[in-house]
Amino acid sequence: MRWNWEHPDWPRFSYHADALRSSEERFLRGSGVIIGALLHVADDEKQALTIDLIAQETIDSSAIEDEALDRASVQSSLAKHLGFKADHRRANAAEAGAAELMADVWRTYGDQLTDALLFRWHAMLMGGQRDLNTIGAWRIDPQPMQIVSGALYAPKVHFEAPPSERVAAEMTAFIEWFNATAPAGRSPLPAITRAGIAHLWFESIHPFEDGNGRIGRAVAEKALAQAIEGPSLTALAETINRHRKDYYAELAAASQTMGIDAWLSWFARIALEAQERTQARVHYLIAQTRLLDRLRGKLNDRQERALLRMFAEGPDGFKGGLSAGNYRTITGALSATATRDLAELVQLGALRREGELKGTRYHLAIDTGPDGHFPNGIGPV
């Protein structure tokens, strides 16, 4: 028996629940921090933050599968689907479909999981495909569903999913378990435990001809959102993409055993890191608003344009900091004007200066968390 679904105990995964207790408690506390912080954010800013976070998830979930999406097109599509103000930018089928899927995940987080819902998500995601036999339905190809790498003449099989004739029954069992383990279900499970098992189980079945990774991560997002009783803004796909190599290695190892303590431990670390990134973004937005309020009426147009451009980089900031050359490019200012503008921004407390001469760099001088720091050091450096 090479694969987990071939084991006689399938799909009864084994794990030690106590090992995740502290992680589960941290996740619920962190969710409360984010919800509380968002109470201090204006509605229009909250909408912008929502679009930014969901767009990042959409882009990163596709990037994990080596598909690059245009951020502006994804953001525009998301705004339309969520009923927010949007431009008239046209998106290609891949961007529009991925955005529609993530908007639906966000809107319907509380709904029960059904095969119809999963079929709808698959149809959204695969709407522009021309090379699939089945869209919006379980796979039916009699050939083995394998994840492989390497040359065609010597492929390396990382995983083989159950044969197509088993998929419908496998998914019936999975969907029944998912709904039963929801917070209001008959056998509720903690947030991270449920999301981690759901993602592994879904990926082990691999029910669709394509798009299983993206839909499987959407299922995990749904599980986390149901646990906190609100649309999930957890940067799960973004964080997984930052640890993409480990992600595939952990999934591959977990797909060959029914004992999943190692997988759940890894998934818990990712979920908590993802939540911390969301906390950083929320606190960053609050700090940005406070800084701009304090500087209102004190900036010239160039300085305001540069600050807004820096804010657009998010908590990670400009790699290496803002240089005088960056400032001239952003504002069109001459060298002497740029030097004077930057000095004024430092004097106003908007920027902090580091280095000397050509090595001089500028960073936003803002408090970014409840204690004045980014969680776990996340943020501009």
Do 113 and 154 have their domain in common?
yes
DSSP secondary structure letters along 235-271: -HHHHHHHTHHHHHHHHHHHTT-SB-HHHHHHHHHHH
- CATH number of the structural domain spanning residue 372: 1.10.10.10
Query: Are residue 11 and residue 152 in the same domain, yes or no?
Result: yes
Say which residue the tokens 């240089």 belong to. Answer: 323
- pLDDT over 70 percentage in the chain: 93
Quick check: helix, strand or coil at residue 354? strand
CATH number where 232 lies:
1.10.3290.10
Q: Give residue 232's pLDDT.
A: 67
In this prediction, residue 367 carries a pLDDT of 60
Q: 199: which 2 tokens? A: 């993602």
The encoded tokens of residue 239 equal: 């964080």
Mean pLDDT throughout 235-261? 95
Tokens representing 66 are 């080596």
Last residue of a domain, one of 281, 306, 322: 281
Number of domains in the chain: 2
**Residue 20: domain span:** 4-281
Nearest to 223 by CA among 100, 110, 55: 110
Looking at the domain assignment, is residue 288 inside a domain? no
The pLDDT assigned to 255 comes to: 96
Distance CA 361, CA 325 (A): 10
Q: How confident is the model at residue 316 (pLDDT cuts 50, 70, 90)?
A: low
Read off the pLDDT of residues 17-27 as tens digits, 9 standing for 90 and up: 999 999 999 99
Domain for residue 175, yes or no? yes
Residues 359 and 210 in one domain: no
pLDDT attached to residue 112: 97
The DSSP secondary-structure symbol of 187 reads: S
Q: Is 149 helix (H, G, I), strand (E, B) or coil?
A: strand
| Section 94-100 average pLDDT | 91
On whether the CB atoms of residues 55 and 70 are closer than 8 A, the answer is no
Predicted model pTM? 0.84
